[in-house]
Structure 1
Amino acid sequence: MATREKSQKVVIVGAGPVGSLAALYAASRGDDVELYELRGDLRDPSVSPLNFSKSINLAISERGINSMRCSNRPGFVEAVLKQSIPMYGRMIHGKNPMGKVWEEPQAYDVHGRFINAIDRTALNGVLLDELEKTPNVKLFFNHKLTGADFRNKKAWFEREDPNDPNMGAFKATSDNEDDDKTINVSRAPEVEVPFDFLIGADGAHSAARYHLMKYTRMDYKQEYIDVVWVELQIPPSEETNDFRISPNHLHIWPGREFMFIALPSPDKSFVCTLFAPASHFVALDRSPENLLEFFNTHFPGVCPELISPEALKQQFQTNPHLPIISIKCTPHHYESSAVILGDAAHAMLPFYGQGLNAGMEDVRILFEMLDSHGVYDNDTTTPGKPATEIATARAAALTAYSRERTPDAYAIIDLSYRNYLEMRWGVKSPLYRLRKAVEETLDAYVPRLGWATQYARVSFSNAPYSEVETATQRQGQILSRALTGLVFAVAGVSGMWLWRWHRARDLGGLMVRIRDVFGW
């Protein structure tokens, strides 16, 4: 990289997987990077996630892996995948009319490709370890973004470390001198941080987005769907200390308007999630004695086979019941000074496993835009660009980024919701199975047609989500026309056969009558 008049300072808000990957990208281009995180060090097991739950387990697929690979860190992707477990498909669970419990695997891909279950903390740990090896990156934990001036490029953070010596006492006074007293309080001191470029990757309830909305005319839509979730756990087998069910599948118990899923963890347990309308949670909270019957009716084989009744009751009552939020907004940036990535820009339902992957893809596409617009200069034979020229180039890159990324963000949010409908009931539909079989057959045996399932396009390619949505809709229309044509063809052939049969029968009757009249 060429040297500049001075190094650009990049401040990143949020040290989750997306923010940490953005820090790696910026640092590799020579920027001075400061990464600020509201919580403590996320590698510390005592640090609670913001929703006070381990959170829905992550599934990393091609988009996320490709984005990590493009960080050009030797051994980095391999270190991440060592922490993961491959899942080759869904395992659908149910019970037949005779009361027998069954399970049926459904492969994700006709070519054998798979997604990877990974623990959020493990992934974050690998990323933060990588950042600590990087000399031009500084990590700041327990720092809360409280303000930002994107015109003058300054941000303010509260240092929320209770052990900070700057947090002390102050004297509170009143009109009555006898009432003067000193009150010990925890006052978080505020620090001012200048920057050249700020990246907000601080999740669905983003402080960076909140302050960004004061500077740009942002269209914003937030929606809570009528689904609440609670995390449960299937422990390892007591006899073998191994997985109780197949570790290489995402297990689904579909229930029409609710579902129960389970993803494998490296400790041989399964992180499980119950998704249901809020009314069901309210009813079970009011009548906890119905919990076991609810599971036995809708999720056969879970209790007591996989989770003991005592553990199920304890986890359901103790673990938080949390809502699911969906957020769309545009633009994702302001001039040359700030941009938001990941859930801060496009929080989505978790049913496609693309929240992490889309966020990491944001990082790759953002820095590809910055590169292509000349923010970073690979020509080491010429002097570096002045800061004003870099800012102009960055403004153009961010405008292009918002313009390109917004339709893709909207598309994957919509696709995630439709996949929820598919997972909770569509996977058992004959029409779903027929379409999947047709598309996979064409993909396997006539690849030049370019057919693929929607799932394969989303999870095993880097095609823009908006193009995936368009291609899937086109395939659906073609299949619908073909199926309609087939139905009409079958009906036409059947009608012709019946007409000929009736005609032949009538002709035969006429010949009999003629024979009787003439005595033939």
Structure 2
Amino acid sequence: MSDSKRKSVAIVGAGPVGALAGLYFSHLGWAVTIYELRGDLRLPSNRTLGSGKSINLALSERGINGLRNIGDNEILLNKVLEFTIPMVGRMIHKGKIGEEGEGQDYDPVLGRFIRSADRALLNMQLLDALEEREGVELMFGWKLRGMKLQGPEGAEVEVVDAEGQTQTKIVNLVVGADGAHSAVRNQLQRHVRMYYEQTYINTLWCEFNIQPHPVTGDFQLSKNHLHIWPKQTQMFIAIPSMDKSFTCTLFAPEECFDAIKTKVDLITFFTEHYPDVLKIIGAESLADQYFNNEHLPLVSIRTGPYHYKDRCVIIGDAAHAMVPFYGQGMNAGFESVNVLMKHIRENPNDLGKALQDYTDERKPDAWAIVELAMRNYDEMRSGVTKRGYLLRKWVEEACAKWVPRLGVKTLYSMVSFGNDRYSMVLRKAESQGRAEERVFAAVLVAALAGAGYRAGIWRALQVGLRASVDAFMQRR
């Protein structure tokens, strides 16, 4: 395709979502320019956290599907998966020194799992793949200054570097993949009557690291689990890394962080809540990490629409930032790229319709996963230890295994192991929850009705069980 006929896109943000979008557009034959405020992540001098992003990610089916559909015969997907660690479930810790914890498989029926992926490595793999593509230009150290979206020739972006030099470029489409504090979204709001909702929860997070065992060099915890120390109002988690370390995060109310002012305060806090973590990391290393790493807030964003005519669109956290408790942030971002490109392929000569269709489809799904992520915080920090949660999980898994015709699935499996729309998953989960409540009520009534009537108890149970099945079938 000649340069004069080739469509062009300017993508703001070279993180995983922006880089993936660049690959999709490149494989569609577009000329791609990607602007990134920070330096090239592949240079060791730029490879520091400092971005409010966790080092490790949970990669699940939606993210994998996004990599699967690039158009490269899954070459990049296979490279990415090679450097991930399967996590078959959660390992729940009570904090007692020497105890291994209690495993809770994500999918005991089919044995499916999520994967731990290194954010920086994944980002570098995407950037390397981009650099191999013809017609792709990577521009590091450039900040978006402004956009003009109503010109006759196309959308105009103006960028500036650290020295104050400016550049302008006219393209067919501008894509904002520049995170929760998106400059593109800010500019887009000048052209669109955009709903915008930003919510901070009363929780901060701080990252820690558990090094490999000092003698054996091996993992110090089970390598195939996401480890959780639930403490009702707070929690500590650990995710395995390829170098046999664990990336860990403390999530706690802001007042907890405010109360820890000295090393003694910190050791006292961990001795009370996470003594086994303190023993593994060590007091000196724990204090060094706590007082040198950032204590960052958690933000949730819902907005819409996501586009302006045929000139500009936002994706990823720029459109739907969420708290990290479902491990879906990057997965949802990759899925958004996949959905956007589906509509562009379906409307090759009508970009405006493609962007409108993208907004119409994606907005309810993005809002649904933002809500689900917020709900899952309560489950992770306290629900995973409650009998009601464990009973419901057991019932749903048993139904999925032994009575699959009922269509019962755990909410987690629908979110993490499938590609059904988030909004459909949310509706199904709510409907299933109501049906389960009717089932439990029917069984309880049958048991009570049969109590004291030895001769009739089996009949009562039969009635109750029949009512249970009827309740599930009515849900469908």
With the length of structure 1 as denominator, give the TM-score of the two structures.
Answer: 0.84
CA distance in 2, matches of 1:279, 1:482: 42
Q: How does 1:403-482 map to 2 (within 5 A)?
A: 403-482=360-439
Would you say the 8 A contact 2:95–2:229 is kept in 1? Answer: no
For the pair 1:355 / 2:329, whether they are aligned, the reply is yes
1:324 corresponds to? 298
| C-alpha deviation, 1:303, in angstroms | 1.1
Partner SS state of residue 260, structure 1: strand
Would you say the 8 A contact 2:116–2:241 is kept in 1? Answer: yes
2:91 corresponds to? 91
Partner SS state of residue 336, structure 2: helix
For the pair 1:266 / 2:246, whether they are aligned, the reply is no
1:488 equivalent among 428, 433, 445: 445
Q: Which amino acid aligns with 1:107?
A: D
| C-alpha deviation, 1:455, in angstroms | 0.5
Would you say the 8 A contact 1:95–1:102 is kept in 2? Answer: no
CA distance in 2, matches of 1:224, 1:32: 38
| C-alpha deviation, 1:45, in angstroms | 2.7
CA distance in 1, matches of 2:11, 2:159: 12
Would you say the 8 A contact 1:93–1:300 is kept in 2? Answer: no
1:294 equivalent among 259, 266, 269: 269
| C-alpha deviation, 1:52, in angstroms | 4.5
1:366 equivalent among 340, 344, 353: 340
CA distance in 1, matches of 2:136, 2:438: 56
Would you say the 8 A contact 1:255–1:299 is kept in 2? Answer: no
Would you say the 8 A contact 1:53–1:319 is kept in 2? Answer: no
2:101 equivalent among 81, 100, 103: 103
| C-alpha deviation, 1:292, in angstroms | 1.7
CA distance in 2, matches of 1:14, 1:491: 61
Partner SS state of residue 448, structure 2: helix
2:283 equivalent among 309, 326, 332: 309
Partner SS state of residue 122, structure 1: helix
Q: Which amino acid aligns with 2:292?
A: T
Percent identity at matched positions? 46
CA distance in 2, matches of 1:315, 1:451: 44
CA distance in 1, matches of 2:232, 2:405: 37
2:313 equivalent among 329, 339, 358: 339
1:159 corresponds to? 161
CA distance in 1, matches of 2:45, 2:53: 11
* Number of residue pairs matched by the alignment: 452
Measured against aligned partners, the alpha-carbon deviations of 1:81-140 in whole angstroms (never above 9, x if no partner) come to: 1111110100000057xx884510000112111111111110011101101110111111
2:123 corresponds to? 124
> CA RMSD of the aligned region, Å?
1.9
1:69 corresponds to? 68
Alpha-carbon spacing, 1:333–1:13, altered in 2? closer, same or farther (3 Å): same
Q: How does 1:15-414 map to 2 (within 5 A)?
A: 15-47=14-46, 51-52=50-51, 55-74=54-73, 75-95=75-95, 101=99, 103-110=101-108, 111-152=110-151, 153-160=155-162, 187-285=163-261, 287-304=262-279, 306-373=280-347, 375=348, 390=349, 393-414=350-371
Q: Which amino acid aligns with 1:220?
A: Y
Would you say the 8 A contact 2:38–2:141 is kept in 1? Answer: yes
CA distance in 2, matches of 1:341, 1:145: 16
Alpha-carbon spacing, 1:190–1:100, altered in 2? closer, same or farther (3 Å): closer
CA distance in 2, matches of 1:496, 1:145: 77
CA distance in 2, matches of 1:355, 1:442: 29
Partner SS state of residue 336, structure 1: coil
CA distance in 1, matches of 2:223, 2:419: 26
Q: How does 1:497-508 map to 2 (within 5 A)?
A: none
CA distance in 2, matches of 1:262, 1:208: 34
Measured against aligned partners, the alpha-carbon deviations of 1:38-93 in whole angstroms (never above 9, x if no partner) come to: 11111123215674566252111100111111012142111111111110100000
Would you say the 8 A contact 2:212–2:218 is kept in 1? Answer: yes
Would you say the 8 A contact 2:89–2:225 is kept in 1? Answer: yes
CA distance in 2, matches of 1:4, 1:395: 22
Q: Which amino acid aligns with 1:419?
A: N
Alpha-carbon spacing, 1:101–1:293, altered in 2? closer, same or farther (3 Å): farther
CA distance in 2, matches of 1:406, 1:48: 33
| C-alpha deviation, 1:489, in angstroms | 1.6
CA distance in 2, matches of 1:447, 1:72: 34
CA distance in 1, matches of 2:127, 2:384: 38
CA distance in 1, matches of 2:148, 2:179: 20
CA distance in 2, matches of 1:290, 1:486: 50
Would you say the 8 A contact 1:230–1:275 is kept in 2? Answer: yes
Partner SS state of residue 222, structure 1: strand
Q: Which amino acid aligns with 1:252?
A: I
CA distance in 1, matches of 2:98, 2:85: 30
Would you say the 8 A contact 2:47–2:120 is kept in 1? Answer: no
Q: Which amino acid aligns with 1:298?
A: H
Would you say the 8 A contact 2:173–2:312 is kept in 1? Answer: yes
CA distance in 2, matches of 1:50, 1:407: 32
CA distance in 2, matches of 1:156, 1:257: 45
Give unpaired runs (5+ residues) of structure 1.
161-186, 376-389, 501-520
Alpha-carbon spacing, 1:337–1:426, altered in 2? closer, same or farther (3 Å): same
Measured against aligned partners, the alpha-carbon deviations of 1:361-394 in whole angstroms (never above 9, x if no partner) come to: 0011001011112x1xxxxxxxxxxxxxx3xx11
CA distance in 1, matches of 2:342, 2:100: 48
Larger-gyration structure (1/2)? 1
2:463 corresponds to? none
Partner SS state of residue 267, structure 2: helix
Give unpaired runs (5+ residues) of structure 2.
458-476
Q: Which amino acid aligns with 2:62?
A: R
Would you say the 8 A contact 1:94–1:102 is kept in 2? Answer: no
Q: Which amino acid aligns with 1:463?
A: D
| C-alpha deviation, 1:451, in angstroms | 1.4
CA distance in 2, matches of 1:322, 1:313: 17
Q: Which amino acid aligns with 1:319?
A: N
Would you say the 8 A contact 1:365–1:401 is kept in 2? Answer: yes
| C-alpha deviation, 1:4, in angstroms | 9.5
CA distance in 2, matches of 1:421, 1:214: 37
Q: Which amino acid aligns with 1:310?
A: E
| C-alpha deviation, 1:288, in angstroms | 3.6
| C-alpha deviation, 1:290, in angstroms | 2.2
CA distance in 1, matches of 2:61, 2:332: 10
| C-alpha deviation, 1:296, in angstroms | 2.3
